[in-house]
Amino acid sequence: MMLVAAAQYCASNDISENHNIIEKFMLEAGAKNVSLICFPECANLIAKNKQELKERAEPADDSKTIKKMSYLARKYKIMTSVGSLMLKQSNQQKIINRGILIGRGGELLATYDKIHMFDANIGDGKIYSESDDFNSGNKIVTKKTEVAHIGFSICYDIRFPQMYRQMSRAGAEIIVTPAAFTAKTGKAHWHVLQRARAIETGCFIIAAAQSGIHADGRQTFGHSLIVNPWGQIIAEAKNHQTELVLAEVDLKEVEIARNAISAWKSD
């Protein structure tokens, strides 16, 4: 058994302010002997508009947030999924939405760039067009670590079950699904999608979520979840509360679930 955590908060357009929140979560996780902590999508920044996003996104090769989180992972000896960061590359006009896994010694273990862009008009008064501003990734990523074999996704990816199947076949035991889900789609789809991906893959799902009203006016859904391989929610955050969600997980449950129902490996 090991203790895992999902951090829920409302990221602002002030990176230093978000760092303070992250540090408090890491201190709490360290005191509770957490083995793996997961942060939400846009962990470092939710800007008030596209221009501010381009200005405040951090250099991918010199990110203060990566340095900060690497230091904290090393200090508290916690494996850390940063969720995702808003980063920019010197030779690209568009931003990248990048997930990063940091080891207990502060080392970078894996990176994943969000594949599926949220281009949608869901009827909440905002038009979402991530492909206008972000370069999409093209590689599914899993990483075998001392804690677990971990698969990576970000927010809108949750609607594409085939990539989760591929991660489970690659050996993933835990899949992280950091998100900044809108309030409207979250209310309709958040819980059922997270549970479905767990059931289909026989994996634990750790869904750290943004929660609240942000500088750009959007409202995110919250309800960070930890789901077991049988699809049961074993921990959940309150709607808009800043909270560290904790659950004990036993990776033996992955094998039990997959042996019980083998549909995940049949197609």
Q: Kindly list the catalytic residues.
A: 41, 114, 155
Burial of 267 (0-12, 13-18, 19+ CB in 10 A): exposed
Report the greatest alpha carbon distance in the chain.
51
Distance CA 89, CA 94 (A): 8
> DSSP code of 179?
B
Q: Cite the beta strand spans of the chain per DSSP E.
A: 2-8, 36-38, 58-59, 79-81, 85-88, 95-102, 108-113, 119-120, 128-129, 134-135, 142-144, 149-152, 174-176, 204-207, 211-213, 219-221, 225-227, 233-236, 243-249
